[in-house]
Amino acid sequence: MSDTPYRPPSDLLTDKVILVTGAGDGIGLVAAKTFASHGATVLLLGKTVAKLEALYDDIAATCRSEPGIIPMDLATATVNTVEDLALVLLQRYGRLDGLLHNAAILGDRVPVEYYNIEQWQTVMQANYHAPFLLTRLLMPLLRAAPKASLLFTSSGVGAVPRAYWGAYAASKYALEGFARLLADETDTTSNIRVNIINPGATRTAMRAAAYPGENPASVKPPAQLMPLYLYLMGDDSEADHGFTFNSDLSKQPFNQT
């Protein structure tokens, strides 16, 4: 992506079916709405159904396509739950053009020796194991799309784990490893491009929980990230495979970081 602002056409994602996890709030909510406003059929996966329904109503009232709602708690999702989802999506849509792994739990920021063990497992399940399960079982749908974008959301503490960030840092580090493994496997063997996005400090509930003393107005709103998210979901990024993208539009190849 160049340094000049990306200006996507309003029909960039027409006819694309894109699943967004954690679509009920924060970056995921804005991404899902933005994808829909650029023509995509968005599948809204999240934990709190009322939030998904509110977004559904908003998209249905303002966009051309009809979204879908997928209530799912990623911390408890099982192989069976995700297999059922894959079957429903296959029957209803036949393919997935985009999968944005966005949902995550922050968890506590305490030394590992004091970290609550149940919470560690919950965070690893939601942030790492569930994206693996979804990817593993939705792969046939991604393969069925002519050009599919598989996007993992990481964090600065995922690239370089930082003291006291506990399971969140470990889960993001594992997620990055999984994305790299997958990028290597799909390189030249499929229509699926695999990238990581590190959104950086963004004004959401998670950011406020991590930095309670910070003035929220001092960090960028999710809307500011949307040119990058649109670029990565649209066909303009079809040649980008195996990169970590940052909010300043810079990117590093996986094999150089």
> Which of the stretches 60-68, 111-119, 176-184, 193-201 binds ligand NDP when contact is defined by CB under 6 A?
193-201
Does position 51 bind ligand NDP by CB under 6 A? yes
Nearest distance in Å: CB 38, ligand NDP: 19
Interface residue with ligand NDP, options 34, 195, 202, 244 (CB under 6 A): 202
Does position 69 bind ligand NDP by CB under 6 A? no
Interface residue with ligand NDP, options 33, 129, 180, 207 (CB under 6 A): 207
Does position 206 bind ligand NDP by CB under 6 A? yes
Interface residue with ligand NDP, options 40, 103, 145, 167 (CB under 6 A): 103
For residue 188, give Cα distances in angstroms to 9, 70, 73, 194.
Answer: 28, 32, 34, 12
Q: Is the alpha carbon torsion for 165, 168, 174, 177 positive or negative?
A: negative
Angle in degrees, CA 69, 75, 76, rounded to 5: 85
Comparing every residue's Cβ against ligand NDP, the nearest one is 26
Does position 153 bind ligand NDP by CB under 6 A? yes
List the beta strands (DSSP E) in the chain: 17-21, 41-46, 68-71, 98-101, 148-153, 192-198, 243-246, 251-253
Nearest distance in Å: CB 120, ligand NDP: 14
Residue count, binding to ligand NDP (CB under 6 A)? 29
> Which of the stretches 69-77, 142-150, 182-190, 248-256 binds ligand NDP when contact is defined by CB under 6 A?
69-77
For residue 160, give Cα distances in angstroms to 52, 55, 65, 157, 168.
Answer: 33, 34, 39, 5, 12
Nearest distance in Å: CB 94, ligand NDP: 25
Cα–Cα distance measured from residue 122 to residue 183, given in angstroms and rounded to the nearest whole number: 26
Does position 126 bind ligand NDP by CB under 6 A? yes
3 state SS of 184: helix
3 state SS of 243: strand
How deeply is 189 buried, as exposed, middle or buried, from its count of CB atoms within 10 A (0-12, 13-18, 19+)?
A: exposed
Query: If you ran DSSP here, which 8-state letter would residue 249 be given?
Result: S
Does position 24 bind ligand NDP by CB under 6 A? yes
Annotation marks residue 56 as catalytic? no
Q: Which residues pair with residue 152 across a beta bridge? A: 101, 196
Interface residue with ligand NDP, options 94, 205, 250, 257 (CB under 6 A): 205
Q: Which member of 6, 56, 128, 168 is catalytic?
A: 168
Tokens 């470990």 belong to residue? 170
* Binding mask of the shown chain, residues 73 to 102, with x at each position contacting ligand NDP by CB under 6 A: xxx--------------------------x
Query: If you ran DSSP here, which 8-state letter would residue 196 be given?
Result: E
- Applying CB under 6 A, the residues found at the interface with ligand NDP are 22, 24-28, 46-48, 51, 72-75, 102-105, 126, 153, 155, 199-202, 204-207
Catalytic residues: 168
